[in-house]
Amino acid sequence: MAVTKIRKISSWTLLISAVVSIVVLGMFFAGGVVDPAAEMKEPVYTGLLIDWTSILFFVTIISTVLFAVWQFIGLLKTDTKSAITSLVTLVCFAALLFITYTMGDATPLEGLNADSQEYNTAGWLKISDMWIMSTIALIVMIVACIFWGSIKRILGK
């Protein structure tokens, strides 16, 4: 029964976040621009899109860390080897974030409006690069795992 409840919660969470994401994207692309005569057009709902993606990013990071710690504590009582594997996964995730943060470029961007200048600092620029590079690295790892699983299944038959 607990598995069914977890699946329902995760399914509803995915459905709600997908619907909100589609609505936010629709508002961003169909919402128009602040000043149509401006050289660099700024969509009206840029702030909403940035806020929503930031919320998704931080909720993902926080939930990943919390569930990893929860799993580690639960496994530590029953299966020490699996607990160590869980801890190694968490450390690798933290290392990925640290490495991609240090790889980030701190060069200020040109041509931003006055409102955006407060985020045109080395720290925010490196965090943005960390976010992008971590996402790319995780996607590559997911695709590699899918291919590895497929190849392993084919060779196992």
Q: With contact defined as beta carbons under 8 Å apart, do 49 and 26 qualify?
A: no
Residuewise pLDDT in 10s, the chain (157 residues): 556 777 888 888 889 999 999 999 999 999 888 888 888 888 899 999 999 999 998 998 898 888 878 878 888 889 888 888 878 888 898 999 999 999 999 998 888 778 778 888 899 999 999 999 999 999 999 999 999 999 989 988 6
Contact between 101 and 126 (Cβ < 8 Å): yes
What's residue 2's pLDDT?
A: 58
pLDDT at position 147, please? Answer: 93
Q: Report whether 155 contacts 143 (CB < 8 A).
A: no
Secondary structure class of 33 (helix, strand, coil): strand
In sequence order, which ranges of 31-121 are alpha helices (DSSP H)? 46-78, 80-103
Distance in angstroms (rounded) separating the CA atoms of residues 45 and 24:
8
pLDDT of res. 1: 52
What per-residue confidence (pLDDT) applies to 89?
Answer: 82
Instruction: Report the alpha-carbon distance of residue 93 to residue 85 in Å, rounded.
Output: 12
**Distance spanning both ends of the chain, measured CA to CA:** 34
43 pairs with which residues across the strands?
33
Other CB atoms within 10 A of residue 92 CB = 11
